[in-house]
Amino acid sequence: MSRKILLVAMFAVLFGVFATSMIELETLFNTYGKTYFLEHGYAETGASNLVTAILLDYRLFDSLFEAGILLIAVSGVIWISKHDVEEKNAKFMIDKYKTPDLFITFARLVYPLMLAFGFYVIINGHISPGGGFQGGAIVATAILILYYIDANKETNIGLIVTVEKILYLLIVLMASISIITQGAFFTNFFNPSADADLKAIYLVLLNVLIGFKVALGLWTIFTAFLKEGR
Amino acid sequence: MSQIPVILIFLPVLTALFIYLFKWRHMHLLALLTQTGMTILAIVYFLHFKDQFEATHIILGGWSDVRIGISLANDGLSMAFIFLTLFMWWSVLTYLYRFGKTEHTFLFFLMFLQGVFLGLLQSNDLFNLFVFFELTTIIVTILIAYKKTGESFRAAIYYLLLNTSGVLLFLIAIVMLYNLYGTINIRVLSEVIHTHADTTILKFAYVLMMTGISVKAALFPVFTWLPKAHGVAQSAISALLSGLIVKGGIYLFFRINFLFESAGLPYHNIFFILGLLTALSGIIFALAQKNIKLMLAYSTVSQIGLIIMGLSSPDITTFYGGVLHTFNHALFKALLFLGAGVIIAVYRTKKLDEIRGVFRTMPIISVMMIIGMLAITGMPFFNGYISKSIIKYGFEDSVFRTLALYLVNIGTTTLFIKMSHIFFGPKMLSYPMKHRQQNITLLLLALACLVFGNFYVEIMDAFFGIDYAHITRISLGGLLDYGITVIIGILIYLYVLKKDVKLVKGIREFKISFETANILFIALLTVLTFYFVIL
Amino acid sequence: MVDFFQSLTLIEMTAYALQALLIMIAFAIVIHKNNGTIVILIASFSLVTASLYVINNAPDVAIAEVAIGSAIIPLIYVISISRQREFIVLDKAMDDFIIHDNTFTGVGYILLKRFSDFYHLELNITNDPMYYKDTVSRDQVLTEQTNVDLIITKDPQKEDGYVLKGKASNILMSKLEEMVKDYDNIRLIKFKDRDLGE
């Protein structure tokens, strides 16, 4: 009981300090970053969506390592779910639960729509909200629906993981091309003063690569969870 | 030439990808080749920029405004840490080399970790630092859980949960700083931070960052993840973790203190006390253990306490004494862990009581281990003595601090006297074949200990421009000090520890549940908030 | 106070209402004990958070939050929770304690079925000889390395007796011990974790 009182007291202190800080922040707010991006964002990067501009141009270095986090997480999950002793209880795992037909029909209807929406979000990342990461998550969710329809779907995890790593390699290479054209790493390989449509090529390409990579990664994690023990 | 930092970060990452994609048996050689390339690049870079570290500041993406965009920067401290990282990875890669066999997944994670860690050292942007911080946490979790036994998973998940909470606090602090100053470039921030120096929000941001870093650097009271993780991981990984990754937390500690320097926060006393508590609790727990790896892990905790005691001092010489001890500790702790790894592989047990006769069975490795033990206990002529003396000089005027230092030293000596009992005894009759490359690694590390113990004046001058000529290499006073410490240690061991009294057993079995660890975490945050914000 | 409420626009009122809902859902997550309920609450928490993101003019974050927090995360949780409910038994006794036919029968089977029904577990019995290579000393390793929960062998000390072995850290073992007390030809052995905490 005394523990709980202590905890409540500690949280009260922390919350008080936090609230005071937030109230102070209202007057001390510094808008340098915001105004810079609003003024120069579109002109320098060619993306109307400033979030994509920041992710893929101003702070591309961070995004590379964010994609790297996903890569590591996927490899880690694959490694941990690999078992040396063969799991033999697959035969006895009676799938007493058969997916209802209504659900299968709807899943068949929804799957192409979700896939198309995912591709739309990926490709239009630089104009409308979205981008590689978000679109990749949506495409992964679409692929997961297939598992509802057919629980015994066979997947070649090794191939997917290899393709994912090759995609990561391509992303890093594409981000590094700018050292040749511009003299600096990790930015658009077109000049900032070039036409907005040309710069958009780079953005779309990068978004597509990242989107595929994220989709494959999330698909692999899900498959590893599902297939463990089968 | 100026883009070398980026190459240093990405070369290991790309190597890691190649190792994973092409499953060739001799891929380990590629890793060693990459390591060589990186060392050459680092040396060239250092020699070129030795006197003009300001020019190493590069903005990735070539943007003209330094407040937008990510930048990398180096200075004497980060270059020294880069060389330490490269050396550590050389040791681990050589130790793990087996001709004709390569564990691809393991090397993948190991090399990726190197790239990420080098990024952590060179980054000049707070959010970038956060990304690298989180990435090291994730990779280290996977490496701890690599053996896939029950206790590995437990230790890994414990580590992951505690460290991720710390990292989240770091993120909240970054958000606050960005809203206050409009930029998260560390160099720019350190110049403007004094403009809002007296506000609650700045102090709270500092407290949040410091709590996050305390978890990573294993300070009291949130160090409980360290013995669990280092005790169950493979020896090579334990060596790397104790030697380097936990020093990443220390690196962030003084980087963030530099960042907030002009705000004038009074952090010296409270971090000295935290360091002292860490050192004492580490050594008390270490003395009660019966498992070699746990003894070494708790000893790491106590040495980190010592480092923080050095780093929290306002005097610049003592500060660099703490930095020197960081490097020294990396060297001799890696030596001890790797040596312990060989011993455990040969004797197939981790319990201290069951290992005897190491000196007759493996003479070379015993000599290396003895060098490591002498170094960590602070014998003159080895590197531990130098850094401990520097810190001791810094505390000359305060009796309390000198006494505390002596206490920790006596504790460490007792611990290693206890551990040195593995050397006595008869020779083991049959044992598996040892690998020559492990001997080479241990030899290299032992040599490094000797070098640092003798050429420290040149080294410290080259990197940091600090003059240490007033610390003598061997002096009668130093030898006498050491002799007294050893004698007191032997006495304590014979009369207290050998009997395994109830107190010792109680300390050994003292378990802190996960719930308590979380409560301690929140308590640390509250105490620091109280001290900095309210007082 | 009333002026405060009257000066809010519709959007601001919705934002405040959603935030209050968020706090209530958070409380509900902490209070409930049933794992299935908690998963659904987590998914709804994610959905409400996504709406708040949209109201605060961050549609990118909202798309990511919906896709991951409402779709993928609950899916992974549901799979993990349903795997937890399996209770895997390895039968090395190979006699009529448990008879493996098209349906299971036998004294042992009835006991195990009663146990797993009581605790809402899914019973899964196998006697595949590929599962183990040699004898007794490997039992502890089997329980540690694979996900077998219980091993049934013949009791070497008693005629016609059986030994049930499992990990001591498994809470179900202590509950099984209670049930087995009534049967005098069945013994229970719990393997203590060979923890390196020593």
DSSP per-residue codes, B250-268: HHHHHHHHHHTGGGT---H
Highest average pLDDT, of A140-154, A162-176, C39-53, comes from C39-53
Question: Touching A: which chains, 3+ CB pairs < 8 A?
Answer: B, C
Torsion angle of the four alpha carbons B202, B204, B208, B213, in this order, in degrees rounded to the nearest 10: 60
- Check residues B151 and C133 and name the one with the higher pLDDT: B151
Residue of B144, B148, B151, B152 to mutate when probing chain C, most C C-beta within 10 A: B151
Kindly provide the b/e burial profile for residues A144-169, where b requires at least 16 CB atoms within 10 angstroms of the residue's own CB: bbebeeeeeeebebeebbeebbebbe
State which amino acid sits at residue B463.
Answer: F
Number of A to C CB contacts under 8 A, please give it. 66
At residue A97's C-alpha, the angle toward residues A145 and A159, to 5°, is 40
The tokens for C52 are: 């708040």
Q: Band of the pLDDT at A230, cuts 50, 70, 90?
A: very low
Residue C77: band (very low, low, confident or very high) from pLDDT cuts 50, 70, 90: confident
User: In chain C, what percentage of residues exceed pLDDT 90?
Assistant: 23
Q: How many residues are there in chain B? A: 535
Selected for mutation to probe chain C from A84, A115, A134, A216 (highest C CB count within 10 Å) is: A134
How is residue B177 annotated by DSSP?
H
**CA B133 to mean position of chain CA atoms:** 15
Contact B379, B482 (CB under 8 A): yes
Q: Cα A173 to chain center, whole Å?
A: 19
A91 or B161, which is more confident? B161
Q: Where is average pLDDT lowest: B232-246, B365-379, C86-100?
A: C86-100
Upper half-sphere CA count for residue B405 (Cβ side, 13 Å): 25
CATH dotted code for C86-191? 3.40.190.10
Residue with tokens 């090397």: B107
Which has the closest alpha carbon to B384: B316, B310, B327? B327
Q: Which of A15, A226, C66, A134 is nearest to B533 (CA)?
A: A15
**Would you say B309 and B303 are in contact if contact means Cβ atoms under 8 Å apart?**
no
Question: What pLDDT shows up at residue B304?
Answer: 92
Q: Do the Cβ atoms of C196 and B290 come within 8 Å?
A: no
Residue carrying the six token digits 């102070």:
A24
pLDDT tens for residues B213-251?
A: 999 998 888 888 998 888 888 888 888 988 888 999 999
Distance from CA of C67 to the nearest CA of A (A): 6
Contacting residues of A for C128, CB less than 8 Å apart: 88
More confident of the two residues B120 and A47 = B120
pLDDT of residue A151: 64
Burial B115-142 (b: 16+ CB within 10 A, else e): bbbbbbbbbbbbbbbbbbbbbbbbbbbb
Q: What is the pTM of this model?
A: 0.88
Phi, psi of C162 (to 5 degrees): -130, 150
- Please name the residue ranges forming H helices in B125-245: 126-144, 150-181, 186-192, 200-217, 225-232, 235-240
Q: Which ranges of A46-156 does DSSP label H, i.e. alpha helix?
A: 50-53, 60-80, 101-123, 132-149
Q: At a CB cut-off of 8 Å and minimum separation 6, what does C160 contact?
A: C185
Instruction: Using an 8 Å CB-CB cutoff, list residues of chain C that contact chain A.
Output: 59-60, 62-64, 67-68, 71-72, 75-76, 79-80, 83, 86, 88, 124-126, 128, 130-131, 142, 145-147
Instruction: Provide, as residue numbers in chain C, all residues whose Cβ is less than 8 Å from the Cβ of A121.
Output: 63
Cβ-based contacts of B154 with chain A (< 8 Å): none
Q: Give the C-alpha separation, C61 to C101, whole Å.
A: 55
Lowest mean pLDDT among B22-31, B208-217, B246-255, C133-142: C133-142
Q: What span, in angstroms and rounded, lies between the C-alpha atoms of A60 and A54?
A: 7
**How confident is the model over B462-481, as a mean pLDDT?**
73
Q: Could B529 and A14 be called an inter-chain contact, meaning their C-beta atoms sit closer than 8 Å?
A: yes
Report residue A90's pLDDT band, with 50, 70 and 90 as the boundaries. Answer: very low
Range B309-332 average pLDDT: 87
Q: First vs last Cα of chain A: how many Å apart?
A: 46
Residue B437 main-chain phi, psi, to 5 deg: -70, -25
Helix, coil or strand: residue C191: strand
Q: Please enumerate residues of C whose Cβ is less than 8 A from a Cβ of B.
A: 144-145, 193, 195-198
Strands C104-105, B71-72: pairing is unpaired
Q: pLDDT value at position C40? A: 94
pLDDT at B404 over 90: no
Q: Contacts of residue B149 in chain C, CB cutoff 8 Å?
A: 144-145
Chain-chain contact of C196 with B151 (C-beta, under 8 angstroms): yes
Question: Residues, chain C, total?
Answer: 198
At residue C117, what is the residue type?
A: D
Give me chain B's average pLDDT, please.
Answer: 85
Task: List all residues 6 or more positions away from C56 whose beta carbon is below 8 Å from its beta carbon.
Answer: C15
Q: Would you call C60 and A89 a contact, using CB atoms and an 8 Å cutoff? A: no
Share of chain A above pLDDT 90, in %: 20
Q: Of B326-340, B446-460, C110-124, which has the strongest mean pLDDT?
A: B326-340
> Does position A213 have pLDDT exceeding 90, yes or no?
yes
The DSSP code for B125 is: B
Kindly indicate the confidence band of residue C132, based on its pLDDT and cuts at 50, 70 and 90. low
CA angle C88, C91, C97 (to 5 degrees): 120
Rounded distance between C-alpha atoms, residue B157 and residue B512, angstroms: 15
Residue A73 in contact with partner chain C when CB distance is under 8 A: no
- CATH 3.40.190.10 placement within chain C: 86-191
Which of C19, C65, C72, C82 to mutate: most A Cβ within 10 Å? C72
Name the range with the highest mean pLDDT among A64-73, B395-404, B464-473: A64-73
In whole angstroms, give the CA distance from residue B176 to residue A21.
9
Higher pLDDT, B530 or B166: B166
What proportions of chain A, in percent to the nearest 5, are helix, strand and coil? 75, 0, 25
How far is C72 from C61, CA to CA, in rounded Å? 16
Please check the confidence at residue C21 and state whether its pLDDT lies above 90.
Answer: yes
Q: How confident is the model at residue C143 (pLDDT cuts 50, 70, 90)?
A: low
Q: Which residue of A has its CA nearest to C73?
A: A222
pLDDT of residue A91: 36
Mutation for testing the B interface, residue in C145, C148, C196 having most B CBs under 10 Å: C196
What is the pLDDT averaged over residues C92-113? 70
Q: Cα separations (Å) of B408 from A87, B268, B295, B326, B411?
A: 51, 20, 15, 16, 5
Q: What pLDDT score was predicted for residue C102?
A: 60
Q: Inspect the interface and report whether the beta carbons of A89 and C88 lie closer than 8 Å.
A: yes
* Interatomic CA distance for residues B215 and B237, integer angstroms: 19
| CA of residue B87 relative to chain centroid, distance | 14
Paired tokens of B347 = 């004797």
Q: Cβ distance B27 to B108 under 8 Å?
A: no
Confidence of residue C45 (pLDDT cuts 50, 70, 90): very high
Whether the pLDDT of residue B18 is over 70: the answer is: yes
Angle of CA points A60, A66, A71, to nearest 5°:
125
Q: Following DSSP, what letter does each residue of B135-147 receive, concatenated?
A: HHHHHHHHHHGGG
**CB proximity list for C117: less than 8 A, separation 6 or greater:** none
B252 contacts: CB under 8 Å, gap ≥ 6: B120, B129, B133, B213, B216, B217
CB contact under 8 A, B231 and C195: no
Q: ∠ CA A35-A39-A41 to the nearest 5 degrees?
A: 105
**The pLDDT of residue A178 is above 70:** yes
Interatomic CA distance for residues C145 and B47, integer angstroms: 52
Q: What is the ipTM of this complex?
A: 0.89
